[in-house]
Amino acid sequence: MATKSGEIVYRIYRALTYGISPLLRLHLQWRRFRGLEHPLRWRERLGRPSEPRPAGRLIWFHAVSLGEGLAAIPVIKCCLERRPDVIVLMTTTTTSAFEVIRNKLPRNVIYQGPQISCSPHHVPVIIV
- Neighbouring CB atoms inside 10 A of 40's CB total 11
* DSSP label at residue 32: H
- Per-residue b/e over 3-16, b at no fewer than 16 CB within 10 Å? eeeeeeeeeeeeee
For the annotated catalytic residues, the residue numbers are 68
What radius of gyration do the chain's Cα atoms show? 17
Q: Which of 72, 84, 86 is nearest to 128 (CA)?
A: 72
